[in-house]
Amino acid sequence: MTIMFPSLHEFNLNNGLSSTREPIRRTLSKMKGMFHDEAAFRATLSAGDPLVYEFYDMAVPETEKDVAYGTSITYPGKVGDEYYMTKGHFHTIIDTAEIYYCLRGHGYMMMETPEGDTEWREFLPGKAVYVPGRWAHRSINVHPTEPLVTFFAFPGNAGHDYGTIETKGFRKLIVERDGKPTVVDNPRWSA
Ligand code: NI
């Protein structure tokens, strides 16, 4: 077996970024089809390609005995009335869980199962959201100016299945209504 040596990494408590590793960045152009308002998506993109979120893959071994971890930073912003968010995913090994601990900002974790159950939980600094196996998950930043920063950990072998969400979307969205984050049915969700 391979012996892995202990490692030390730094994640900034203010902006979530690491000084010891390069993040994976998702700009708006990589999120085509994920926001419900296509016209607003095109209009926003025509003015530039803003960074929507970034996260870390710390390259731990992909075994069930390892723990993948890192920070996820979702920036403030909206496409039309829909807040900036991560693509969201199921785990490839679908019954693997994940824990997210909020370090900064204000947002929600949107979750759903293949059977159609839907749940969301609020992120505020100091709050931890446990995402059990079988729940797809997406972080949504509802703060007008601050990034949503979370620290996550999940089994090393879990893997990411983005395709299902890219094709079908989530059943529920969080949009701004009368200045407040509001959960609504996704008008474009397809079974
Ligand atoms: Ni995950």
Q: Quote the ligand 1 centre to 82 CA distance (angstroms).
A: 21
Q: Quote the ligand 1 centre to 98 CA distance (angstroms).
A: 6
Q: What is the pLDDT of residue 93?
A: 98
Q: Quote the ligand 1 centre to 178 CA distance (angstroms).
A: 31
Q: Encode pLDDT of 115-168 as tens digits.
A: 999 999 999 999 999 999 999 999 999 999 999 999 999 999 999 998 888 888
CA neighbor of 70 nearest in space, from 132, 10, 125, 123: 10
Residue 39's H or E segment, with its range, is helix 38-46
Q: What is the pLDDT of residue 188?
A: 87
Q: 132: which 2 tokens?
A: 């059990």
Q: What is the pLDDT of residue 189?
A: 85
Q: What is the pLDDT of residue 166?
A: 85
| Residues around the ion ligand 1 (C-beta < 5 A) | 98
Domain 24-190 has CATH 2.60.120.10: yes
Give the residues of the chain that fall short of pLDDT 70.
1, 191
